[in-house]
Every structure is written in structure tokens, then in C-alpha cells.
Structure 1
Amino acid sequence: MWSGPRNLSTAMMYSFAQRPDTEVWDEPFYAAYLKATGLDHPMGAEIQAAGERDPDAVINACTGAGPLGKSVFYQKHMTQHMIDGVDRSWVKRMTNVFLIRDPARVLASYDKKRGNPTLDDIGFRQQAELIDLVCEVDGRAPIVIDSADIREAPETMLRLLCQNLSIPFDPKMLSWPKGGNPQDGVWAPHWYGAVWNSTGFAGAEGPLPDVSEHLKHVLEQAQEIYDRIAPLKLKS
């Protein structure tokens, strides 16, 4: 599952974690990404200490079976972690889903948690590149799902997603216990507060938020990419 930040990605991981046939992995490349970029992220030292910092080792683990041996191995990946120099050829061997969200919502949310994001921070460019890669391999559009559609009709969209993945829908996916998930990354206390306090998908989103003037140039770039990807999304 590929998405940028602030994109319903944690809620989707929690949803799949409720399936008895599924094990989940939270952002496997985060530590390697911070080591390679030197970016100053909240809890950065803890993330690097807890995670695998060699991207090739992460790839080997991603392309193998999950440690619990369950039939579905759900990996929550952040597209911005696929920086130049990290091998992407392994993606061709995976079943890939792309989770998208309107860039105005992404930027307004991200700016509150880590200010002044760039286009590469929010992963839109990398997501488009990964979609193009999967299209080349499969010869057809990949699975794309919009977070707004999930929030508006969770069961309908999760059923449709499961159908496209050739796995059965499980009603357990619609809710989860409050308080987090044992598979959360060490960064969860900073980023996951809202989902920790939730027990299911929030309702439909309201009007688009205002984006700070200093981020309007990023919004324009991201919007162009989103508008190209959006026609590929699953429709109920």
C-alpha cells in the first residue's frame, strides 16, 4: 500500500490488521530514508535506532513472507521514502495499491505536524513514478483508491478493494480498538494521535482546507500530479 503522509494510511493499516489472515508492517523504509537524507524528523534518532537502515535489507524482507506466515502481508509504504538511489525493481514483484488524497488536505495536515513541506516530502512525485513503473510491468493501470471515497463509504470501498485484490472482504476491517496497534512504528506518538483515538473510519470530509500562502507553489505542483492519477481510482 503506497501513499504519501497524512493520507489515511495508518487507518488503512489498522483496518487490514483486524483481518485474522493478515499481518502488517508499518513504514519499513523510514529508518533507511532518514539515514540517507539526513532529514530532521520528529523522533528521528529513535526511528533510526529501532529500524533497519540498509534499504537492500528492507527490500529482502519486503519481498519475502511475513514473519508470522499469514497469507496476506500488508506493507504500509510511504512513497517519499523511495528516494533516488533506492532500488525500485522489487516493486514489480508485489501486488501494489496506491492510496491517494487531495493535495490541499495533505498539505494542510502535514504543515501542522512538520512545517513547510516540499513536494518530495509529501510523496506525490514519487507516487506518480511508482504508478508509471507498475503500469509498464502490468500493461494496465494499477489499483488506485482515494481516501475521500473510503471515508465517505468505508464498507463499499473496502469491499471493492478486496475484490480487486482477490481476497475476501472481512467486516472486521471496519473497526479497531482504540489506543493504537502493536505493529505501530516508534514514531506513532508524534503522528498517530487522531487514529489512536478512533475506532473506525471518520465520516466524509468537509470543504477543502485553506493552504498557507507559502505552500501554494507546492500545492500547484502536487495538484497537477493528483489530477493525472485521480482518473485511475476505483469507483463504486
Structure 2
Amino acid sequence: MKKILALWAIPRSTSTAFETMMRERGDFFVSHEPFALSFYYSEDRCNTTRCPDIVPNAKYNFSSTWEKLQQKNEKQRVFIKDMGYQVIPIANEDFLSCFENTFLIRHPAKTLPSLFEIWPDFTLEETGYVELNRLFEIVNKMSGKISILIDSDDLVQKPEATIKAYCNAVGIPFIQEALKWKSKIKPEISQLEGGWHNYLQSTSGFQARKEKQYVKIEDNQKLKDAYDFCLPYYQKLYENRLVIN
């Protein structure tokens, strides 16, 4: 049985566009952030301030979610996209060895204003940079090599070359047709509240977003502090990115 292919990411990094491309391929069962429900809504939940009034549900426990993914992978190879910080609580070697672990990053100058618009009370943990860096280091130590890591700017600016390089690195065929999709509502990617994927659902492929009037980092102390905190971790990860020619 082949390993589950995982893309570990940070919020607002165009990861759901990547997930949509994987769904368009048709050769994977694609799971959208399965561990988000474990992190926020389960009996194991690690954050009790984001959704304080919910009743924790055992069906979302990390062990239940993990068991379902393994069962699904026995029938059809699974691809998951999830945030690194949502899986760190269970990210030991036994767990991570069941995945082909790949990573996606994006500059905090682009992620943080977008995250702030949806979650103005976001925590540093929810920016995802520290946890993704930890996950990257754990996986590299396990494998003895640098894991596959792509940067969002490459994905948006050079989608065909980036996806070709990714497919080659993980040993799956490149499918040209998967780079385009229909602009429509995608209920399979809607879990957390807040309009996370409104823009994606209006697109038909990887593309740079037209400039939006987000709160500027330099005009907001919370964003300035978060930017200063996240930038070194992004830069460290960026040094190990897959270089796209």
C-alpha cells in the first residue's frame, strides 16, 4: 500500500488551490484539512478559545480521523492538505512515516493581512510558521534528506513548471488538465466559518489575486509583531524550497 500523500501548509498560502488541482486529477481521494476538526472540535481539541461554545465530538478525535484516512487509503490512494499546526500534536515518527510528506509556504507579508481579515484575533500558533518549521525538521531528520517544499509565489507565477516539478519529485504523473477547474461553489472544502475560500471558488486555476485592500502590516501593531515573529521561520524554510526554473 502506498503512503498517503500529504501537503502540510500554513493558512492563506494558496494550499486549497493546490488541493483543488489534486482533486481535478481524479486519481486520488482528496481530504480537506481532516485534522482541523480534531484540533478545534474534538475531545482532543488543542484550541478551546476559537470555538468556545461547541460540544467536543469524539468522532473528530485525532485517532478516529487517522483511522478513517488509513481505511480510505487501503481502497484508493489518499491526498490530504492540512495545516502543520493542526497536526503537530500527534506528529511523531510512527505517524509521519505513513505519509509522503511535502510542504507549502508563503511570505508572511501576504498571509498575515489575509488571515487578519478573517481572524483578527488569530494567535501566533495559528499563523503556522513555527509549527511548520518543526514539522519540516522532524520529517527531514527521519528521512535523512530535505523534504519537498514549494513556495506559493512559484505556484501562482509558474504553475505548470511548479506542478511538474512537484509531480516528478513525488513520483506521480503530471496531468495538464488538472491545472484548470470550473469556477463554482465547492462544498467539499468548507469546514471552518469565516469565508476562507470565497476567492478560490471564483477562480478557474492558479492565478495571482488582484490587489485587495487589506489592513497594512505597518499600520497595525498586532500584524507588525506577528510579521517580525514569523519572518525568520519563513526565511529558514524558503532556503530549502524546490527551485523552479
Query: Scaled by the length of structure 1, what TM-score is found?
Result: 0.87
Q: Can you list the C-alpha shifts for 1:165-198, whole angstroms capped at 9, x where unaligned? A: 1011001221111113353233377211000111
Aligned match of 2:231 in 216, 219, 223? Answer: 223
**What are the residue-to-residue correspondences of 1:1-236 with 2, within 5 Å?**
1-35=7-41, 36=45, 37-41=47-51, 45=54, 52-66=59-73, 69-70=75-76, 72-84=77-89, 86-89=90-93, 90-187=95-192, 190-203=195-208, 210-211=216-217, 212-236=220-244
Question: C-alpha distance in 2, partners of 1:39/1:53?
Answer: 17
Conserved? CA contact 1:148–1:205, under 8 Å: no
Report the more deviating stretch, 145-154 or 33-42.
33-42
Check whether the contact 2:125–2:131 (CA below 8 A) recurs between aligned residues: yes
Whether the 8 Å CA contact 1:63–1:94 is kept in 2: the answer is: no
Whether the 8 Å CA contact 2:190–2:197 is kept in 1: the answer is no
Equivalent residue for 2:4?
none
Amino acid of the structure 2 residue aligned with 1:39: T
- Code of the aligned partner of 2:199: A
* Aligned mates of 2:18, 2:91 — CA distance in 1: 25
Cα distance between partner residues in 1 of 2:139 and 2:159: 26
1:48-106 residue CA offsets vs partner (Å, 9 max, x unmatched): 67x94211122223344437x33x4110111121354x353301221011100001111
Whole-Å separation in 1 of the counterparts to 2:98 and 2:26 = 24
- Cα deviations across residues 98-139 of structure 1 (Å, max 9, x unaligned)? 100001111110000110322201111110111011111110
Identity value in percent: 23
Contact 1:2/1:76 (CA < 8 Å) preserved in 2?
yes
Answer with 143-152 or 178-187: which moved more: 178-187
* Shift in Å, 1:153: 0.6
CA root-mean-square deviation:
2.5
> Shift of residue 14 of structure 1?
0.4
Distance 2:69 2:221 in 1: 39
Unaligned runs of 5+ in 2: 1-6
Q: TM-score, normalised by structure 2?
A: 0.84
Corresponding residue SS for 1:18? helix
Q: Which AA in structure 1 matches 2:225?
A: H
- In the aligned structure 2, how far is the partner of 1:45 from the partner of 1:11? 29
The code of the aligned residue for 1:66 comes to N
Asked whether the equivalents of residues 11 and 83 of structure 2 are also in contact (C-alpha less than 8 Å), the reply is yes
Could you list the runs of 5+ residues in structure 1 that have no partner in the other structure? none
Tell me the CA shift for residue 2 of structure 1: 0.4
Q: Which amino acid aligns with 2:92?
A: R
Which residue identity does 1:112 align to in structure 2?
E
